Structures are given as C-alpha cells and as structure tokens.
Amino acid sequence: MIYKLPDYKSLEVSEKVADYLGIKRNLLNTDDIIDWSKQIANLPKVWQQTKGEGIKIAILDSGITEHADFDGAIKGCVNYTREPDMTDNENHGTLIAGIVGARINNTGVLGVAPKCDLYIAKVMDANKNYDTEHVVQGLEWALKKDVDIVSISLGMTEYHQGIHDAIKDLVSANKHVICSAGNDRKLTFPASLPETIAVGSIGKYLISRSGYLGCGLDFVAPGVGLWSINRFARLHYIQSGTSFAAPFIAALSALILSKHRKTTSRTEVKDTADLKDHLKKMSLDLGGVGWDGIYGYGFPGHKSVQIESEFVSLLDPKDLTPKGYKKLMKYLSHT
C-alpha cells in the first residue's frame, strides 16, 4: 500500500516506511496523522471516551503560527516578548501546540487532546531568549485565565524565586504545572521544583533519550520521532527533546481530567498529588522496579503495550524508489 504525506511536497512511501514514520490512517475516519506516540499510549481507544473537552491548557513558549489544525482551539493569547505579535519565529511553540491539541480536520496531525482549549503565552523570542519576568507574567496570566494545566518546555540552570512563587500560586489553586526535565542529563528549573511534574523523553524502543536526570524526575513520554506543525504551517518530523515529551504528558493529563469530570469516579483528581497518583497507576515501569532516576515512575501509557519488531523496523532505502528515497531524505532534512 502507498501513503501520501499531506504536505506541500508530494511524497509517496511504502507501508513499512509509513509505519516507521508513525503514519496511520482511518483510525478515527480521518486523514490526520496519528503517529507512533499516540498509538503506543492506546489513545485511539481513550478518545472514544474523551478528547480533552472542557480542559484548558496554557503553553508558555515562543508563540504560535496559524494553521487549520488550530482552528477553534486557541481561546486566549498574550505576547510578553519584544516581538510585535504572536507569530512563532523560533519553531518551538507551534510544534508543542500541535502535540497538545491539533484538531481532527483531515489535514495535518492529531494532538493528544484534540478537543482541549489552548491558551498561548509567548515568552520566548526567535533567538531562544526569554526574560524570567516574562515567564512570571505568563504564569500569572494562566492563573487569571483559570487554566487547568500549564505546559512549560523552558529549562533554566538557576533558581528563580518569582517563577517558583507563581507556580506555587497555580498549584495552590489546584492547577497542574508540567515541565520538560532537560536534555543534558541534569534536571533543569522549574522541572526541579517539587510542585511541578517533571518529564523526560523516550523514543520508539521506549529507551530513555534524556539519560539519568536523578531525583525529581517524575515520568517519561515520547519526545522522539513525533509529527507536528512547524512555524511555516507545514508538517514537521521532530527528531528529539524533552521539550516535546512534557506537552504529551500535559495533554494526557487533560484526558484524565476531562474523563473524571464527565463521569462519577471513586478516585478524584483534586490536586497535583492526585494527578501524579493517576499517572503512576497508568505507567509502564521501564527502568528498575518502581521509581528510578532515568525513567521516573515510567511512561503513563497502556500497561499491556507490546513492542513488536515490525513496529520499530528501521528505515530501509529498498522500501522506496530511488526518487522517493531522495524526496524523503530531503523532506526530513528541511523540516
């Protein structure tokens, strides 16, 4: 079978290569890309119960680029940088927003919580620069907007009292702050705070891509080989980073909150401690028994998930025509 990527470039790939790239069709009668991360977390089954309806997620990052995948999703925006508007000039915030809440619309990708509400605070500019005071303002804005979850994929090497205070205010109001843990084998701030949920990264083999992060790491999630929307409003294949694992857990948490609000449950999710407990119960333990400094409590995916050789088969040029292989390599190198 031949698949065609819905992008500005025509690219046909064999079924084996499509599987490697995480392309699955018609699981929800949609042409949106549902990549490996959603499949391995058993999300198509979860989406039968909830898609994150009624849950507000704030993303503090580099802004967002307009795309059909975000139509109706963005409920609030604010820009704290010196740049003139919300446009994502760094190619970070848009990728994160796509992982969280890209809509079902037969174009582009599908987010983990495709019916959640997005609130975008632009705190980082095109050069990856951000002022800590702008991060504080973004957190305070999120609290004023009464969001349920805040996703932060900014890592700092030094403690900042103002950011900590703003996070404590959010947590005191029963909001959940989920942070990327860092990519340099050291837990970064604010993921290092006890009030946050710190997330490391894994790839398709469910092997850590962030390494030993030590005390404070809570969970790991897919952060390698994901599909999203980039700042040019095109499909983008993400190579790696805990920046993209944190929004996965943020959106997964939205599914948990949404489901609990829809149904009567014996186990409530009142605060971040409750949310962590729920994520622990869902987690596939990937390292030593129980918590460890590489995987935390594991990956909050489906516990019965099986890793098959076909699922993680390596990309083989023989699966493509020479012309098709050249197109694929060019596509991946320019996105």
pLDDT, tens only, 93-147: 999 999 999 999 888 899 999 999 999 999 999 998 999 999 999 999 999 999 9
Helix orientation angle between 245-262 and 93-101, rounded to the nearest 10 degrees: 30
Burial of 172 (0-12, 13-18, 19+ CB in 10 A): exposed
Catalytic residue among 19, 35, 61, 148: 61
Burial of 267 (0-12, 13-18, 19+ CB in 10 A): exposed
Confirm whether 243 is a catalytic residue. Answer: yes
Query: What pLDDT does 8 receive?
Result: 27
Distance CA 145, CA 138 (A): 10
Helix orientation angle between 272-282 and 245-262, rounded to the nearest 10 degrees: 100
CATH value of 31-303 in 3.40.50.1980, 3.90.1300.10, 3.40.50.300, 3.40.50.200: 3.40.50.200
Please list the ranges in the chain whose pLDDT falls under 50.
1-18, 20-28, 304-321, 324-325, 327-328, 331-335
Q: How is the chain split into domains, by residue range?
A: 31-303
Establish how many alpha carbons lie within 13 A of residue 231's alpha carbon, considering only the half-sphere containing its beta carbon: 15
- Please indicate, yes or no, whether the overall pTM of this predicted structure exceeds 0.85: no
Query: What pLDDT does 320 receive?
Result: 41
Catalytic residue among 243, 253, 258, 283: 243
Catalytic residue among 35, 37, 92, 208: 92
Alpha helical stretches, state H, 9-101: 15-20, 36-40, 43-46, 93-101
Nearest to 244 by CA among 17, 37, 56, 21: 37
Q: What share of the chain is helix, strand, coil (3-state, %, to 5)?
A: 30, 20, 55
